[in-house]
Structure 1
């Protein structure tokens, strides 16, 4: 039975806490920095540039960072990235020039992808194959649990001043570094010291993850602009959307994440991809608090089910020795959608209003199912036997 294999081990818990602190830090910064940019004289569209730059840098660096992690050691890269986060937090506190702020954001985003790829690859070693969807869902609770509280905390701390927020983020980064020192990982087989750009991109995975890209297009707008939308529509508190969204994801994954392992991953994935455009459509017309909450719940149910099912499917059909690269490809898809969404929704919102912007997001996300249906057949046909052979021989 799948349930007989232990999932909640001490090493799982240690890495889970590390991920929670990482996302708790990031999602205090990301909702607050648009207000900082407005303070510096930027426009609404420019307020979304930071998230676009950050996520684009993360997206396009992720496959390379994943390959580097597979070569030099995932734990080693995790520690290095955590130290760099301390420097970034301090830099944000002293920078007042918008172009320079965006440059630091690009570097920060690249290193962020190193943490995501490395930590996810390490965690995949800890999760029993027969409980993969459930394990990934619980692993994802670290990020969504942090998102549930971080925006409200970040915006509250921001009221005491931007410098205060940056000092708090630097302190959290110190805790991340200490935590990374205690993480243990079994790294992949020895590899050549050099990493080529061609090797970093697994095109079979990239094609499949395009479905995630179109589904997360609106996520960029949700992260960057729901607080501003709430402010414009006189809805309190401004963080209500992100908090409700994250709380919904947490509840779904605690009680229903085992469904994918029991009935099949696609049976959980396809319905979730239907909910996402509906959520964006509701947000487009929302003018009351209950409408914002309804949209957030629908989006939380969609993303709460989609990501673990999607990631579990990808892992089942790729090489475990290149797990960090695989997660790098998933990060590429996720962050490309978020970055593009933040940029386009910001521009549309500036000129035509956020209602039209989220209608566009709803329409685009409708393409996620046909893209996945087409690309996943090619991935599964070529990848299943290799992944099964390697996992049966190596995973604990």
Structure 2
């Protein structure tokens, strides 16, 4: 509910496109900065405890948005929100990995992604409705209530016992405890894809205004629905030995989706762009996430998950800053065409790392 409304809210409190870029970026960068430590915490202590604490802190942070009436305060709240989100989401993702057999990990990550996809389909529409029919304070009430429900639900999650391992990293330094090297190839590819994804999440609302499109919520519904369908199918295909085909096809469909976004001037064009991007990202994300943890021992899954999502967050964070400058210097259309560059780099890295050469 909150994410697609942030750019519009920043404009109402006196910000511009550069402020939008920074405020969106500090959230993801702060989430990124805590993920390695969060991964270490969930490996060393209780995954469930870290999850519950993180969600509680998120609920309390949501209350602070009522006082976000200028750029400085808004920036500070977004930093705090990113930190507690990074803590909670790393723990949740690790718990999910623990619950899925390795032989079905791609499929499991696909089903796990359905939860966020479903929220993407419904939440933006609700968020825009709350703002349109009430005000931003009602939006902040809504996100606080939803986070409170998540906190109550977190107590119902079954605990998974983790082996007691004395040395938690592959080396003796701090970095070896926080970063799981086996996750880096998939994580770097996800970094570049996340930069592209950030352009959709952060600027599509402003781009729609520039193009004279009113109900941009349908774009989010389109991308979410195709992600919902694609994720489990792509996961099963990858588990059966087709991961190379899934990733290559996903990259190409994302390219088509971003190009369509750049040329779209009607609601139908925006919906088509959402459908294509949903298929592409829905195919790539669960397969890359599964690869990041597939060869990692259970006592290092938290570190692997933290490593993967840290680079995911970094990609969105740095991407939103870059796209904000490009949009301010040219237009949102040029910005969306520019996303094809990191997408091409991601495809090149995939071919270089050849993540699934053992399955090819």
Does TM, normalized by the shorter one, top 0.5?
Answer: yes
CA contact (8 A) 1:217 1:341 kept: yes
- Total equivalences in the alignment: 354
**Within 5 A, what are the aligned runs for 1:248-263?**
248-263=226-241
Bigger shift: 224-233 or 312-321? 312-321
Bigger shift: 180-189 or 63-72? 180-189
**Alignment-derived partner of residue 322 in structure 1:** 300
**Alignment-derived partner of residue 102 in structure 1:** 75
- Hey, what's the Cα distance between the residues in 1 that align with 2:282 and 2:40? 27
Bigger shift: 316-325 or 73-82? 316-325
**Alignment-derived partner of residue 7 in structure 1:** none
CA contact (8 A) 2:231 2:286 kept: no
- Superposition deviation, residue 307 in structure 1: 1.1
TM-superposition CA deviations, 1:127-158 (whole Å, max 9, x none): 12222211110110000110011111111112
Evaluate the alpha carbon distance shift between residue 40 and residue 142 of structure 1 in structure 2; reply closer, same or farther with a 3 A threshold: same
CA contact (8 A) 1:278 1:362 kept: no
Evaluate the alpha carbon distance shift between residue 352 and residue 171 of structure 1 in structure 2; reply closer, same or farther with a 3 A threshold: same
**Alignment-derived partner of residue 38 in structure 2:** 65
CA contact (8 A) 1:205 1:326 kept: yes
**Within 5 A, what are the aligned runs for 1:113-262?**
113-159=86-132, 160-190=134-164, 196-262=174-240
Work out whether 1:342 is the aligned partner of 2:342.
no
TM-superposition CA deviations, 1:294-351 (whole Å, max 9, x none): 2211111111110111122222222221111111111112211211221111221122
Evaluate the alpha carbon distance shift between residue 53 and residue 193 of structure 1 in structure 2; reply closer, same or farther with a 3 A threshold: farther
CA RMSD of aligned residues (A): 2.2
- Hey, what's the Cα distance between the residues in 1 that align with 2:166 and 2:89? 23
Match of 1:87 among 37, 56, 60: 60
TM-score, normalised on structure 2?
0.92
TM-superposition CA deviations, 1:146-194 (whole Å, max 9, x none): 0011111111112311211111211112111111111122142335699
Structure 1: 5+ residue stretches without partners: 1-27, 385-396
CA contact (8 A) 1:226 1:239 kept: no
- Hey, what's the Cα distance between the residues in 2 that align with 1:39 and 1:185? 44
Structure 2: 5+ residue stretches without partners: none
